[in-house]
Amino acid sequence: MTLILNALGAFALGAVGWFTLEFFGRPIREFFSIRREIKRLMLLYWSEDSPSSDVFETGDFQSFYDSLEPARTGFSNLAAQVITFHQAEWPASWFVKLLGFDLPKAGNALRKLRFFGVTNHDNDKTFQCLDRALRFRFDQSQPFYNPYNPGR
């Protein structure tokens, strides 16, 4: 009888472990993958957001704007992923919030980046907001934003 109870206990413990990892651990791991992809896009495009003076002189603003379409698409897709994670994976979202991440703020900042490449939009402030919401380190004492400078 003890052997059967031990086997049932091991089976139940395995089922609880699988359930915990599948429905709690995997979404949290997915969040950190999304977070890493956000930082990658930020590093790729942070200095590409404002056209140089020769773009305005030659009238090539449309080609400049079109060249940033992959960035706008990438940020929009990541915004959808962050907002979906926040709304659909509520146990993992709750845990991520306990770790200090602000998913609604990050999702809204990513949605603002759909205007990436427009001259009157301040992308540096949006990137700083993302850094704070997703807890990336950056040096706030610097006079300009640089995502490569992790600060203290």
pLDDT digits (tens, 9 = 90+) for 52-95: 545 555 666 677 777 788 888 999 999 999 999 999 998 899 99
Q: Contact at 8 Å (CB) between 131 and 111?
A: no
The region of weakest confidence among 33-42, 79-88, 96-105, 134-143 is 134-143
pTM: 0.77
**Tokens (6 digits) for 134:** 């997703």
Question: pLDDT value at position 52?
Answer: 52
The pLDDT of residue 81 is: 95
Closest of 118, 128, 129, 113 to residue 78, by C-alpha? 113
What pLDDT, on a 0 to 100 scale, did the predictor assign at position 54?
A: 52
